[in-house]
């Protein structure tokens, strides 16, 4: 039995606007993480152009329209063209597509609907994606579906169902970093609803998760300690806010610390050489 089912608690009502904003940002961050770091915006725009040319040659093929929609979505998850392309796909017989690709479509459509403030429709799309990916899909896709449902349920105030999706998603995480990242997403979903009970349930679920895995607890505590230390260094005391000498010392120390890294030191030296070369050229012109 899931821990969320043991509590006697009800729905908390629609999420607060600030909470919904954070949930949307989480979707956008997930999308950004799937992009190839070696590609630039021009590469993605070229992919859109190529996908559109392929679809124009065979407009009866829904999979080619889905590839165009995905091309829009990977560049910018909130792109209206992605939502429009998914809407156009609804006119096709999706059963002709591979089952996993059908699930991919509903997951993409659900995200586009969510980012365009159509939360009830997004929930229905995510539920269809979950069903299809359960039939044919990998663990990563099923985890992503549960995270999407977590956000949709939270946005609509269905906190109990959101907590259940969190517990399912936690079982699908292979790496400790993924588990911690999921917890942070859940904080946005359940701690920002305006209902203190939601935050309590989240804490209980997370503490049980850490009690079952000591290595996860150790890593999470180390991240927390690291974050606290960084936060303390960034906090200025009132009497130092206007102390430019103090800020200069902090900047100098940061540069010196960075230059201990061999790659940073080499890059910094190259930049300085280029800067001096440009200055010499300007002086010679004069």
The pLDDT tens digits of the residues spanning 64-83 come to: 999 999 999 998 888 999 99
pLDDT for the residue 3: 44
pLDDT for the residue 75: 86
pLDDT for the residue 9: 42
Structure tokens at 115: 């980012």
pLDDT tier for residue 13 given thresholds of 50, 70 and 90: low
Q: How far is CA 152 from the centre of its chain?
A: 14
Q: Quick one: how many helices (H) and strands (E) in the chain?
A: 13, 0
DSSP characters over 9-66: -----SPPHHHHHHHHHHHHHHHHHTS-TT--HHHHHHHHHHHHHHHHH-TT-HHHHH
Angle (nearest 5°) at CA 129 between 128 and 134: 100
pLDDT tier for residue 85 given thresholds of 50, 70 and 90: very high
- How many CB atoms are closer than 10 A to CB 27? 20
Question: pLDDT by residue (tens digit) across 246-279?
Answer: 555 665 666 666 555 555 556 566 566 556 656 6
pLDDT for the residue 6: 41
Answer yes or no: is pLDDT of 206 > 50.
yes
What is the pLDDT averaged over residues 153-165?
A: 88
Question: 270: exposed, middle or buried (C-beta count within 10 Å: 0-12, 13-18, 19+)?
Answer: exposed
Query: Average pLDDT, whole number, for the chain?
Result: 80
| Cα(155)–Cα(82) distance, integer angstroms | 22
pLDDT for the residue 134: 93
Could you give the domains of the chain? 13-234 (1.25.40.10), 243-285 (no CATH)
pLDDT tier for residue 101 given thresholds of 50, 70 and 90: very high
Question: pLDDT by residue (tens digit) across 14-62?
Answer: 667 788 888 898 899 888 888 887 778 888 899 999 999 999 999 999 9
With a pLDDT cut of 70, the percent of the chain lying above it is 72
pLDDT for the residue 162: 87
Radius of gyration of the chain (CA): 24
pLDDT for the residue 201: 81
What is the pLDDT averaged over residues 119-134?
A: 95
Structure tokens at 255: 């540069």
Structure tokens at 161: 């169902």
Question: pLDDT by residue (tens digit) across 209-229?
Answer: 888 888 888 888 887 777 666
């Amino acid at each position: 039995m899931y821990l969320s089912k043991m509590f006697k608690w009800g729905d908390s009502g629609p999420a607060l606007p600030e909470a919904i904003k954070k949930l949307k940002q989480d979707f956008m961050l997930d999308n950004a993480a799937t992009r190839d770091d070696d590609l630039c915006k021009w590469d993605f725009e070229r992919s859109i152009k190529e996908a559109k040319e392929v679809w124009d040659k065979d407009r009866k093929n829904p999979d080619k329209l889905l590839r165009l929609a995905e091309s829009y979505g990977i560049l910018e998850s909130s792109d209206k063209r992605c939502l429009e392309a998914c809407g156009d796909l609804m006119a096709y017989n999706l059963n002709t597509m591979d089952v996993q690709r059908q699930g991919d479509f509903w997951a993409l459509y659900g995200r586009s609907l969510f980012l365009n403030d159509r939360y009830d429709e997004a929930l229905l799309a995510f539920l269809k994606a979950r069903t299809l990916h359960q039939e044919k899909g990998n663990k990563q896709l099923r985890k992503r579906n549960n995270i999407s449902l977590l956000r949709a349920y939270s946005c609509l105030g269905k906190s109990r169902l959101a907590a259940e999706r969190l517990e399912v998603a936690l079982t699908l995480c292979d790496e400790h970093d993924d588990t911690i990242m999921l917890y942070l997403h859940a904080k946005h979903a359940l701690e920002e609803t305006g209902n203190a009970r939601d935050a309590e349930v989240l804490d209980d679920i997370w503490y049980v998760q850490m009690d079952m895995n000591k290595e996860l607890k150790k890593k999470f505590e180390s991240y927390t300690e690291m974050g606290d230390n960084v936060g303390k260094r960034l906090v200025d005391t009132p009497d130092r806010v206007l102390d430019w000498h103090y800020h200069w010392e902090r900047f100098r120390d940061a540069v010196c610390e960075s230059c201990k890294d061999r790659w940073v030191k080499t890059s910094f030296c190259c930049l300085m050489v280029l800067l001096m070369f440009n200055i010499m050229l300007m002086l010679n012109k004069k």
